[in-house]
Amino acid sequence: MRSPTRKQAALVAGTLLASFAIAAQAVGVPGGGGDEAPQDPGPDMAGVRAALTEATELGAPGAMARFDGPDGALSEVVGEREAGSGLPMDTDAQFRIGSVTKSFSAVVLLQLIGEGAAGLDDPVNDHLPGLLPDDRITLRHVLNHRSGLWDYSNEMFAQTVPGFEAVRNEVYPLQDLVGLSTAEPLTVEPGSAYAYSNANFVVVGLLVEQLTGQSLAEAYQERIIGPLDLAHTAYVHPENAMPGEHIDGHLTPDEAGQPLVDSTEQTASWAQSAGAMISTPGDLNRFTSGLLGGELLAPEQLDVMLEVTPTDDTGTRHYGLGLRRYDLSCEVSVFGHTGTVQGYYTYAFTTEDGEESLAATANTSNNGVVNTALGETLEAAFCGAEAPAAPEVAERNAEPNAERNAEENARFVPLAEPDLPAEQQRN
């Protein structure tokens, strides 16, 4: 079942309101004939800015967001791109997108499936003989995190800063990362349950290389970056620097009160096809809107990518094939991915028709309340400003997250979904 876009939700609300107005006029209710159907309110950029501000108050040196819709682009920036520098955040600057990379990897593999190079329910070992310990694990299972492969990053980053420094400049063969995972037992029976693991998308990367005969960088460039003209997006692994203007990353230590660690330069080799790409908010919005708009996948592959299962018991958070779905409080669903890599949090989401997109980032990590605050940009952007008739609601939506109803708010924020499982939530 297709979920409503914001415009569709507004249209439904308007139809109900118009019906009430007609009925009220018929029975003589005062003022019944004067109500008009509400229009799409557009993004609440004041609410977006409030969420970014909260992220900086909770520990991020800077945060920024860009919204793209039918009326063009709108941006908000708060704080600094480099702590203590006085340099403002810049939505034209590159940053590390972490697990948003998974959506790029999933698109390439689904393209290959659509071309007949593999089947979605083929066992992985049919294409990569002997790689995995269980022949029941399929391409579908690694794409939707139902393989049971243990997430090696749990142990790798059990101590955040020492773990990061140990791998900052390392370059791993993809097979070695899979080996770290398969050294441990499966966490669930293949296909039986959702269990997020970076190892799944390392396997996806190996499948892409095997099926294309190309490097990951070549496959991303030929199949996504080039066709969508993503001029500021790249897979730079194994280089440890970003080539252009960029946002510095700041890793939060486990010990409270310790200074942030500059994590800008890193190979991100521990993540690769699970999390090593760089981009900008504008490019990410172009990617998510192009994906949901049907520019990258045939309808059959896009439909299967959007087939989701719940990731928790809130009823609002789901996962498809390399793609998250969040059901917002205004009954609008958005699709995309969250990203966590040392020094950066990212959200990149779009409506199901691809007409409205938001990308937001904060330049810290290992501080879960910052991630939660950044997630509030989704509600503000996609649910929009409240109508003038309800100013108290608009005022509430512009307040910091801590001032809201925490129990209700928690249903719509990905608090329970760190992309790096060892992340500290700091609640």
Whether 240 contacts 168, CB under 8 Å? yes
Whether 338 contacts 414, CB under 8 Å? yes
Whether 360 contacts 65, CB under 8 Å? yes
The strand pair at 357-362 and 324-327 is best described as unpaired
CA angle 186, 338, 223 (to 5 degrees): 90
φ, ψ dihedrals at 278, nearest 5°: -125, 155
How far is 179 from 244, CA to CA, in rounded Å?
34
Instruction: Please state whether the peptide bond connecting residue 30 to the residue before it is cis, i.e. omega within 30 degrees of 0.
Output: no
Phi-psi sector, 55: left (phi>0), alpha (psi -120 to 50), beta = alpha
74 has which bridge partners? 67
How far is 236 from 195, CA to CA, in rounded Å?
28
3-state helix, strand, coil in the chain (%, to 5): 40, 15, 45
DSSP reduced 3-state for 124: helix
> What tokens were used for 367?
């501080």
Q: Catalytic annotation on 289?
A: no
Place of tokens 């994590």: 263
DSSP reduced 3-state for 208: helix
SS (H, E, C) 109-153: HHHHHHCCCCCCCCEHHHHCCCCCCCCCCEHHHHHCCCCCCCCCH
DSSP reduced 3-state for 423: coil
DSSP reduced 3-state for 222: helix
Q: Kindly give, in sequence order, each residue whose CB lies less than 8 Å from that of residue 271, ignoring residues fewer than 6 positions away.
A: 98, 99, 101, 153, 198, 341
How far is 260 from 80, CA to CA, in rounded Å?
14
> What tokens were used for 179?
């080996």
CA 192 from centroid of its chain's CA atoms: 24
Count CA within 13 A, CB hemisphere, residue 97.
Answer: 32
Which of 99, 103, 197, 289 is flagged as catalytic? 99
Q: Integer distance in angstroms from the first to the last C-alpha of the chain? A: 36
The residues assigned a catalytic role are 99
